Structure 1
Amino acid sequence: MEDLQIYIYTFLAAFVGVVPPGLVNMSVAKTCLEKGKRNGTFMAFGASLVVFFQALLAVLISKYIFSNPYVKSMFLKAGVAILILMFLYFLLSANRKKTQRTIKKRTGTKSFFTGILVSGLNIFPIPYFVLIGTLLTNNFKITFTIYNDVFFALSAALGTFTTLYLYIIFIMKIDGKTELFKKYSNYFMAALMLVLIIITIARLYNM
């Protein structure tokens, strides 16, 4: 029964957590548009693999992070630095002159590792799953053994992949109507990074 509780609550938390537009799901959508469904799926696999380790780390250090404001602050400061770099990258990419070129079919390996990189740069799942793990412990009296830790992380990864795959299906179904997104995708990503920077800085000042 405890295993089922962990699976349901963690899966739903991961599923819902990836629904709002963010770095990972928008990157997967962009990859689908530029390189096709197969590459988008490989990228989703890579991103979900990272979430597995992020969730595992989160549940292992949940009590320590909440009892140590300095560690929490360092996580957020690192997040701001990464987001600023991503903002500059997408802004420069959007302003780069585009030439007409044929999209090459690539193996999914590069997209898989791109998913790992993008998801690794996104540190927000760690505090999110720290919160989920703490709520499960305090509100549902769940004891996190090593087995439950791994099960928690696996549920988080599966929930994340499910949402990302639904993004892929949605994007491929409206492929003929996405020229605007293709044209301005880098501007959209830059704007998203800027919003996340502002939110993170606000959280730092309100700690």
Structure 2
Amino acid sequence: MSVLLNFAIGFIAALVGVIPPGLLNMSAAKISMKQGRKIALLFSAGVCLTVCVQTYVALLFARYLDKHPEIIDMLQKVALGIFLCITIYFFFIAKDTRREIPKEVNHSKTNRFFYGILLAALNLLPLPYWVYISVTFSAFGWFSFEQPGLWAAVIA
């Protein structure tokens, strides 16, 4: 039963995480419009592979955090400092550097799978998202960090 619950939580969390338009969604749409559906599906397959690996790593990290709650307090303080620094930088220091859009460049159509892997690997937002989702549902007793359930959430 916990495997099915992990699968359902993983599926719903993945659906909620994919609905908002983001870098990967917009890139897939742009590739689909300019280069065709097959190449966009190849790009999306690369993204999916990387996101699955990121999800598994995040769930392993969440399992560690679930067993060591004292680390969460330290991480919250560090995260607050980081976000304050980023806020100050973007509001007061960063300058608007608009550049002209370069003319159309020919891209290799065979490397879109690896482009999807690279772009998804640069997007680290799934890591804290999955840590938060899994630790929260684990606190309610709905999510299990045992091995079959962990893989069910990753596959979902």
Same-fold status (TM-score > 0.5): yes
Question: When the two structures are superposed, what TM-score results if normalisation uses the length of structure 1?
Answer: 0.57
Q: CA deviation at 1:73?
A: 3.2
1:69 aligned residue (72, 75, 79): 75
Alignment-derived partner of residue 16 in structure 1: 16
Provide the secondary structure at the position in 1 that maps to 2:145. Answer: coil
Say if 1:50 and 1:97 are closer, same or farther in 2 by CA, change over 3 A. Answer: closer
Alignment-derived partner of residue 28 in structure 2: 28
Structure number with higher relative contact order (C-alpha < 8 Å, ≥ 6 residues apart): 2
Q: CA deviation at 1:68?
A: 3.5
Say if 1:139 and 1:42 are closer, same or farther in 2 by CA, change over 3 A. Answer: same
Say if 1:28 and 1:136 are closer, same or farther in 2 by CA, change over 3 A. Answer: same
Provide the secondary structure at the position in 2 that maps to 1:26. Answer: helix
Say if 1:27 and 1:72 are closer, same or farther in 2 by CA, change over 3 A. Answer: farther
Say if 1:3 and 1:68 are closer, same or farther in 2 by CA, change over 3 A. Answer: same
Provide the secondary structure at the position in 1 that maps to 2:103. Answer: coil
Give the structure with the larger helix fraction.
Answer: 1
Q: CA RMSD, aligned part only?
A: 2.8
Read off the aligned partner of 2:129 and give its amino acid letter: Y
Alignment-derived partner of residue 50 in structure 1: 50
Matched residues in 1 for 2:138 and 2:23: separation? 29
Say if 1:105 and 1:132 are closer, same or farther in 2 by CA, change over 3 A. Answer: same
Alignment of 1:56-205 (within 5 A): 56-62=56-62, 63=65, 66-69=72-75, 73=79, 92=99, 95-98=100-103, 106-107=109-110, 110-155=111-156
Q: CA deviation at 1:138?
A: 1.1
Gaps of 5+ in 2: 91-97
Kindly indicate whether the alpha-carbon contact (under 8 Å) linking 2:3 and 2:148 is maintained by their aligned counterparts in 1. Answer: no
Alignment-derived partner of residue 37 in structure 2: 37
Q: Give CA deviations for 1:147-176 in whole Å, capped at 9, x if unaligned.
A: 222222121xxxxxxxxxxxxxxxxxxxxx
Q: CA deviation at 1:105?
A: 7.8
Q: CA deviation at 1:135?
A: 2.0
Say if 1:72 and 1:116 are closer, same or farther in 2 by CA, change over 3 A. Answer: farther
